[in-house]
Amino acid sequence: MSTGYSSKVMEHFANPRNVGEIPDADGVGKVGNPVCGDIMNMYIKVKDGVITDAKFKTFGCGAAIATSSMATEMIKGKTIEEALKLTNEAVAEALGGLPKVKMHCSVLAEQAVRSAIDDYLRRTTGKGLEMKSDEELHEHEMAET
């Protein structure tokens, strides 16, 4: 039976990396998609402008868990600036692609990373990111369907 998921998606769903919370996190991002009901919480530790650790707790489908897992893997060891360049397309590509109907999961993963970084920046500099609204983030997704 084909699920439409790559083996990499299945691997990250079956054995997700970096699951859990960081109690003394430097930044916490919480995002959700009211349409599908997925909720992602992302936690980051930052030292000297570098993300030294990232963990997540996601309540959602396999694709949501896989994209959260991959996103945390992709930002660990990166500077804040580098992590902010992470796109949902890059997460999906790293997973070997996602079915079109599940691309919103990668958008959530990108949002969760940005939200955690925004929280970190607000705590340390008093100024956060200019966050895109859900509508802006989902615009390209809707254009593709």
Closest listed residue to residue 43, CA positions, set 65, 9, 18, 6: 18
Q: Please choose, from the candidates 100, 115, 102, 91, the residue with its C-alpha nearest in 3D space to the C-alpha of residue 41.
A: 115
19, 36, 50, 84: the catalytic one is 36
Q: Which residues pair with 55 in a beta bridge?
A: 43
CA-based max dimension of the chain: 51
From the candidates 105, 107, 116, 117, give the one annotated as an active-site residue.
Answer: 105
Q: Is-catalytic flag, 36?
A: yes
Token representation of residue 83: 């992590």
CB atoms within 10 A of CB 97: 15
The residues pairing with 43 across neighbouring beta strands, listed in sequence order, are 28, 55
Indicate if 61 belongs to the active site: no
Catalytic residues, by residue number, are: 36, 105
